[in-house]
């Protein structure tokens, strides 16, 4: 497996040899100081270019980075996702030595806009000394922000409202829909509340990372074990257990966060939770939800 020094040298050599490439940025896990180094860290690279057309007319120019297992060009694909605005162009490359480069071509006209986005980054090459006249935002986008009352209340409303969809889908034995709702909007709200809890406990200095990947190191063992119960298998019984585990955690965290931040406490759970338990016990041949 090529070393970091070898990979960065290759990336910079390619840029130095092309007059079209004016700036090179490294971002992602290799710049995030909180991330422990491991062999799966990608090289997230942006080449800021004068003219993208020469690169896009013949994609073979990326062959010089090494022999690949696979490559994806998401901006050339109809799905997923379709219909998005494409101003940049990315090459996601997995090489036979295990290294991976996620390389994005971005027009130099978008440098200022790009550097304004929250992202720990390092400029590896700046041929035109543009950084002397531009502001660069290196704030981590995954740092937890303190919620206001509206965000806090909306989070609780969404969690409890969509939890009723899960109950309905489980009663109907529509497992794919129930799982989608559980791992989509309901988990999103649970993770938001969990992040705020972590923020409160760390004076909002914690960085849980993408999809909460670092959460385990910020919570106690008891909470972590409860959280594991919210990742059930395809059993309907375990799906119900997972849903109620989510509800228990969410309610506990909501009370804790509201108390610490002096926010008004939404009380959706006191009415919705009994409804969910009622649906769990509702016979499959029922013609009405309540008598």
Residue scoring higher pLDDT (23 or 140) = 23
Residue 30: CB atoms within 10 Å: 18
Predicted local confidence at residue 138, as pLDDT: 67
Q: Which two tokens stand for residue 121?
A: 């980054």
In whole angstroms, what is the distance from residue 49 CA to residue 83 CA? Answer: 24
Whether the pLDDT of residue 81 is over 60: the answer is no
pLDDT tens, position by position, 135-163? 676 667 777 889 999 999 999 999 999 99
Q: Which domains does the chain have, with CATH numbers?
A: 4-132 (3.30.460.10), 149-281 (1.20.120.330)
- Residue 61: per-residue pLDDT: 97
What are phi and psi for residue 58, nearest 5 degrees?
Answer: -145, 105
Q: Which helix (H) or strand (E) holds 95?
A: strand 89-95
Instruction: Name the residue with higher pLDDT: 84 or 38.
Output: 38
β pairing state of 68-72 and 89-95: antiparallel
Residue range 178-199: mean pLDDT, rounded: 97
- Say how far apart CA 151 and CA 244 lie, in whole Å: 23
């Amino acid at each position: 497996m090529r070393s970091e020094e070898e990979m960065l040298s290759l990336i910079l050599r390619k840029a130095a040899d092309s007059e079209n490439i004016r700036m090179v940025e490294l971002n992602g896990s290799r710049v995030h100081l909180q991330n422990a180094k491991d062999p799966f860290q990608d090289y997230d690279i942006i080449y800021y270019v004068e003219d993208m057309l020469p690169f896009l007319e013949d994609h073979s120019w990326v062959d010089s980075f090494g022999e690949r297992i696979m490559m994806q060009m998401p901006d050339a694909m109809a799905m997923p996702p379709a219909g998005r605005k494409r101003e940049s162009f990315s090459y996601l490359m997995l090489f036979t030595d295990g290294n991976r480069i996620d390389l994005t071509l971005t027009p130099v006209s978008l440098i200022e806009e790009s550097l304004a986005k929250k992202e720990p980054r390092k400029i590896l090459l700046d041929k035109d000394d543009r950084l002397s006249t531009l502001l660069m935002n290196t704030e981590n986008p995954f740092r937890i922000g303190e919620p206001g009352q509206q965000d806090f209340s909306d989070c609780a409303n969404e969690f409890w409202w969509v939890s009723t969809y899960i109950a309905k889908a489980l009663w109907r034995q529509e497992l794919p829909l129930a799982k989608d709702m559980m791992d989509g909007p309901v988990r999103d709200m649970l993770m938001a509340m969990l992040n705020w809890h972590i923020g409160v406990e760390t004076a909002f200095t914690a960085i849980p990372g993408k999809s909460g990947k670092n959460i385990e190191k910020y919570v106690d063992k008891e909470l972590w074990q409860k959280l594991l119960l919210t990742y059930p298998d395809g059993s309907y019984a375990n799906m119900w257990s997972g849903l109620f585990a989510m509800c228990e955690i969410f309610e506990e965290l909501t009370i804790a966060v509201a108390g610490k931040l002096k926010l008004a406490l939404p009380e959706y759970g006191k009415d919705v939770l009994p409804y969910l338990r009622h649906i769990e016990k509702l016979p499959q041949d029922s013609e009405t939800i309540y008598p």
